[in-house]
Chain A
Amino acid sequence: DARVTQTPRDKVTEMGQEVTMRCQPILGHNTVFWYRQTMMQGLELLAYFRNRAPLDDSGMPKDRFSAEMPDATLATLKIQPSEPRDSAVYFCASGLVTLGLAGNNEQFFGPGTRLTVL
């Protein structure tokens, strides 16, 4: 049963600490997305990768957030330094995205990392 996995599932940290969240996409998927979900803003796209190359990180605060994909089985999202306003659920999603008129961009989500910054 192929699924996206994320670690840790819950993280509580203090302001100023570094936080690293990890994601293992579904094997064979070529596109990986990072989202953040809050009550106020809903789901927001932070960044995404195609074939491990970053395509768009315009949704991410550049000064403190960074996203990487060191290999095809691992994507990371790092916050340094963390702030209380970063408290949210962070989701990773992956898909075998093909473009064009008959394309497919269906995305499959992981269970999320619930981050609390005190």
Chain B
Amino acid sequence: KQEVTQIPAALSVPEGENLVLNCSFTDSAIYNLQWFRQDPGKGLTSLLLIQSSQREQTSGRLNASLDKSSGRSTLYIAASQPGDSATYLCAFSTQGGSEKLVFGKGTKLTVNP
């Protein structure tokens, strides 16, 4: 069974700190990997999509990397702000089922002013 693990489950940091969220997956035949943000009581917002041929993607203060050989992805957030407080989920799809995303349970981030 394909699994996605996100560590830590929760993280609390002071404003301005740079931080890294981790995501590991069990299937090396990855098609692509997507990072989402979920605010309380809201749906998921797509942040970054890394295609299987890519190693990283950047958007503003966010940078996501993908290492298929080790089965890991990281989301780097620079100069964190209180508005970054949310749950961050990673999800991957495989070559054999590229439409279907398998989600981790997320990392709940709190950025304290």
Residues of A within 8 A of B (CB): 4, 31, 42-43, 45, 48, 50, 55-56, 91, 93, 97, 99, 101-112, 114
Q: CA of A40 to CA of B31 in the docked complex: distance in angstroms?
A: 27
User: What number of A-B contacts does a CB cutoff of 8 Å give?
Assistant: 53
A110 touches B98 (CB 8 A): no
B21 close to chain A: CB less than 8 A: no
A107 touches B43 (CB 8 A): no
- One of B59-67, B68-76, B103-111 at the interface: B103-111
Which of A45, A93, A105 contacts B31, CB < 8 Å? A105
Q: Which residues of B sit under 8 angstroms from A104, Cβ to Cβ?
A: 49, 51
B34 touches A42 (CB 8 A): no
Shortest beta-carbon distance, B108 to chain A, in Å? 12
A99 touches B44 (CB 8 A): no
Q: CA of A104 to CA of B101 in the docked complex: distance in angstroms?
A: 12
Query: Are A107 and B34 also in contact (CB < 8 A) when A91-B43, A101-B53, A112-B43 are?
Result: yes
Shortest beta-carbon distance, A54 to chain B, in Å? 13
A99 touches B98 (CB 8 A): yes
Q: CA of A97 to CA of B101 in the docked complex: distance in angstroms?
A: 12
- A sample of 19 cross-chain residue pairs with beta-carbon separation below 8 angstroms, ordered by A number, consists of A42-B103, A42-B104, A45-B100, A48-B100, A50-B99, A93-B44, A97-B99, A99-B98, A103-B31, A103-B98, A105-B32, A105-B93, A105-B101, A107-B34, A107-B101, A108-B46, A109-B43, A109-B44, A109-B45
Extra pairs beyond A55-B99, A106-B49 (9, CB < 8 Å)? A48-B99, A103-B98, A105-B31, A105-B93, A106-B46, A107-B34, A108-B46, A109-B43, A109-B44
Q: CA of A45 to CA of B44 in the docked complex: distance in angstroms?
A: 14
